[in-house]
């Protein structure tokens, strides 16, 4: 019989990926709550669709869509993650100790995603409530069509940041190569300072609130204007 303190170790050099994911899904009803996955060897769709309060440590680099659709679980990737890590996350936390490839936390609806290194292009595209903290730099087109949630960047941001943005809060400590359509610099009010400070603390980022600038929507693109009717 397993107990709450047991750690289930799974070696992907031996265990098929489909079997592992099924076991993680079944753990919602019965089974160990702490997991260690070794030898991921860049596997795609690893630890996707978890819907339970599990602690999952992945020791090594992973491929596409790691921890996608995560709900409740705390997933740590001790390495780099491929495209779409944390895609459509609902709740829980995902931490990448290395770098994240494109579309990190795309369409995320809740939870927290922390990248200790850099995140590539399109980080947080179409985000819908997720909180993302990147301790390094992010690539171009990040937060494209972002609808709600928060993106914190402790390094620099690439071109077209926040293109076609709705109401997401973006905080950048370093330089911004260029802002996308309808994205502008905005005032850092007390509410935003509190929000940013909380995320810096929970993510363990070595940065201060006063070092950041805030960016958000100018609220022009999604408001119909009769003077521009011919352009629609």
38, 57 contact by CB (below 8 A) = no
At 2 the pLDDT is 43
CA 128, 36, 114: angle at the middle one, nearest 5?
30
43, 12 contact by CB (below 8 A) = yes
Between CA 203 and CA 216 the distance in angstroms is 22
Between CA 89 and CA 49 the distance in angstroms is 9
Structure tokens at 151: 């993106």
60 φ/ψ sector (left φ>0, alpha ψ -120 to 50, else beta): left
Q: What is the residue whose two structure tokens read 């659709």?
A: 69
Between CA 174 and CA 15 the distance in angstroms is 43
Between CA 64 and CA 84 the distance in angstroms is 6
At 232 the pLDDT is 52
At 87 the pLDDT is 98
| DSSP codes of every residue in 102-126 | TTTTTT--SSEEEESS-B-TTTTTT
The pTM is what? 0.93
Q: Where are the domains of the chain?
A: 1-88, 99-225
At 3 the pLDDT is 46
Q: What is the residue whose two structure tokens read 């911004």?
A: 176
Considering only CA atoms, which of 57, 61, 6, 66 is closest in space to residue 31? 6
Q: How many CA atoms lie within 13 A of 79 on its CB side?
A: 17
User: In terms of DSSP H, where are the helices of 27-147?
Assistant: none
Instruction: Give, for all 232 residues of the chain, the pLDDT tens digit.
Output: 344 458 999 999 999 999 999 999 999 888 899 999 999 999 999 999 999 999 999 999 999 999 999 999 999 999 999 999 999 999 999 999 999 999 999 999 999 999 999 999 999 999 999 999 999 999 999 999 999 999 999 999 999 999 999 999 999 999 999 999 999 999 999 999 999 999 999 999 999 999 999 999 998 876 656 676 665 5
Residues in the chain: 232
The residues, any chain, with a CB within 8 Å of residue 113's CB and separated by 6 or more, are 85, 86, 89, 93, 94, 95, 96, 104, 105, 130, 131, 132, 133
């Amino acid at each position: 019989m397993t107990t709450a303190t047991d750690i289930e170790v799974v070696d992907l050099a031996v265990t098929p990926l489909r079997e592992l994911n099924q076991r993680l899904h079944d753990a919602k009803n019965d089974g160990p709550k702490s997991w260690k996955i070794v030898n991921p060897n860049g596997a795609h769709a690893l630890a996707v669709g978890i819907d339970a309060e599990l602690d999952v440590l992945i020791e090594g680099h992973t491929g596409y869509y790691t921890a996608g659709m995560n709900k409740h679980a705390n997933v740590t990737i001790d390495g780099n993650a491929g495209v779409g890590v944390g895609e459509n996350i609902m709740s829980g936390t995902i931490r990448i100790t290395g770098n994240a490839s494109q579309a990190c936390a795309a369409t995320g609806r809740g939870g927290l995603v922390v990248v200790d290194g850099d995140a590539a292009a399109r980080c947080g595209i179409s985000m819908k409530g997720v909180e993302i903290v990147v301790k390094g730099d992010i690539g171009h087109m990040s937060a494209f069509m972002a609808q709600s949630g928060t993106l914190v960047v402790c390094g620099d941001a690439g071109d077209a940041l926040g293109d076609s943005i709705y109401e997401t809060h973006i905080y950048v400590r370093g330089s911004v190569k260029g802002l996308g359509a309808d994205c502008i610099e905005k005032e850092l009010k007390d509410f935003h300072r509190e929000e940013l400070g909380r995320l810096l603390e929970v993510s363990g980022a070595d940065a201060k609130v006063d070092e950041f600038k805030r960016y958000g929507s100018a609220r022009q693109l999604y408001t119909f204007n009769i003077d521009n009717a011919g352009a629609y």
